[in-house]
Amino acid sequence: MEEYGKILIIAMPVFLLLIIIEKAYGIYIKEDNVPLMDSVSSISSGITNAVKDVLGLSLTFISYEWMLSKVAVFHMESSVLTYLIAFFIIDFYGYWTHRLAHQINFFWNKHAIHHSSEEFNLACALRQTVSSFVNLFTFLLIPAAIIGVPATVIAITLPIQLFLQFWYHTKHIKKMGFLEHILVTPSHHRVHHAINPEYIDKNHSQIFIFWDKWFGTFQEELETAPPVFGITRPAQTWNPIRINFQHLALLISDAWRAENWKDKFTIWFKPTGWRPENFEEKYPVNKITDVYNFNKYGTENSSKLIYWSVTQVLTTLLFVTFLFDNIAVIGLPNIFIYGLFIFVTIYSYSELMDSRNSSVFWETIRFLFGISILFYFGNWFGLNAQLPIINYIIGSYLLISLSISAYFVAFEFKAKKAILVNS
């Protein structure tokens, strides 16, 4: 946990800087596709995923260490060659876990968040799951275990392979010549994120594109079909925690309402999007049928709400940085209390981003939670030793945040609704 947290402290500002550069470049060439609200939602999703991973809130039924002890034929020493082999096998593992997440109803729930942005930019790369609490696919690393790749090599290579998937989430890099035949490029990944019928469930590879070509899931980006991004059942929210569980909620609801016991059981393992017969008519859900003609979500927010949302996510990054840098000092069980505060924070301000009146309720919960931490511990998890006035700073911030949420709900949201009613 602690080592991964240290890695993220380095990675987070790098990712944020690249997102800012992409935004500035888009404005410069008059092709800005990095809306601030969408980016705040994406970064918030990345925070929830990172906090979940650092806190170890997941369970692996079959660990790589266990497989290594049972099936290893050789025992490799750590070397450059070992890391290259591990990287290659992890990419094979990544292709199949990615493909299964797209093709099986239950597994789509953990991956839908990544595709939920209706934009395609570096920020949307950070939309990662918080709803996956169990790792079921470690068995796909059996080839590495058989040849004896050390567990430490796998543990180091996995995050490297994940971080290398960041750069190709952009519209600004066009086709890349001969690299299109070897690596996953922005063009390939635009196809993967698109909801055009000809692009659905294509290009699952993560680093090497030849997996798709070998296993029959490759599709080139076509000039005649500009990619349109999102998911066919649009999220219609900026709240990353809501997005994480939307598909699961629909599955549970459909399984409950299904009259056929076979449907109640098999719905979980059917192809993604499958519903029992006539459910689309009996229990309709919002679905995009014309990919070239639909309204993107949340495009009419006020500048005040946009800038306050940016302020909130940047402040949350400061809280998270302190957590990741002080995991050992904060210790158990306090790191889970801190993690819960981060989750409540993100839920609260993303509810405000959605213009929900309930945001005041969640902001009140966060205010009381934060003040309780200050009173119970007498300090903010040891930060007082570095900054003696931190209690006053955090207390003031929580009060200001609650007051601003109340302002938006009491005045701006009411005025917005009045305009909609009269129009």
Q: What is the 3-state secondary structure (H, E, C) of 104-153?
A: CHHHHHHHHHHHCCCCCCHHHHHCCCCCCCEECCHHHHHHHHHCCCCHHH
Residue 185 DSSP one-character state: -
CA 66/CA 232 separation, integer angstroms: 40
* DSSP calls for 246-282: HHHHHHHHHHHH-SSHHHHHHTTTSSTT---TTHHHH
Give me the pLDDT at residue 6, please.
Answer: 85
CA 240/CA 113 separation, integer angstroms: 7
CA 377/CA 379 separation, integer angstroms: 5
Give me the pLDDT at residue 418, please.
Answer: 58
Residue 315 DSSP one-character state: H
CA 383/CA 396 separation, integer angstroms: 16
For the record, the structure tokens of 13 come out as 């500002």
Give me the pLDDT at residue 125, please.
Answer: 97
Query: Do 360 and 406 touch, CB atoms closer than 8 A?
Result: yes
State the virtual CA torsion across 255, 260, 266, 267 in degrees, nearest 10.
-40
60 phi and psi, to 5 degrees?
A: -110, 115
CA 204/CA 96 separation, integer angstroms: 8
> What is the per-residue burial (b if ≥16 Cβ within 10 Å, else e) of 277-296?
eebeeeeeeeebeebeebee
Give me the pLDDT at residue 420, please.
Answer: 53
Q: Where are the domains of the chain?
A: 2-215, 303-422
> What is the per-residue burial (b if ≥16 Cβ within 10 Å, else e) of 169-182?
bbbeeeeeeeeeee
348 phi and psi, to 5 degrees?
A: -65, -55
CA 87/CA 207 separation, integer angstroms: 9
Query: Do 236 and 297 touch, CB atoms closer than 8 A?
Result: yes
- Residue 71 CB contacts under 8 Å (≥ 6 apart), including other chains: 142, 145, 146
Continuous segment of H or E residues that includes residue 60 = strand 59-60
- pLDDT digits (tens), the chain, 423 positions: 667 788 899 999 999 999 999 999 999 999 999 999 999 999 999 999 999 988 887 776 678 888 999 899 988 999 999 999 999 999 999 999 999 999 999 999 999 999 999 999 999 999 999 877 777 788 899 999 999 999 999 999 999 999 999 999 999 999 999 999 999 999 999 999 999 999 999 999 999 999 999 999 999 999 999 999 999 999 999 999 999 999 999 999 999 999 999 999 999 999 999 999 999 999 999 999 999 999 999 878 899 999 999 999 999 999 999 999 999 899 989 999 999 999 999 999 999 999 999 999 999 999 999 999 999 999 999 999 889 999 999 999 999 999 999 999 998 887 666 555 555
Question: To which residue do tokens 């806190």 refer?
Answer: 55
Quick check: bond before 333 cis, omega within 30? Answer: yes
CA 164/CA 309 separation, integer angstroms: 28
Query: Do 327 and 5 touch, CB atoms closer than 8 A?
Result: yes
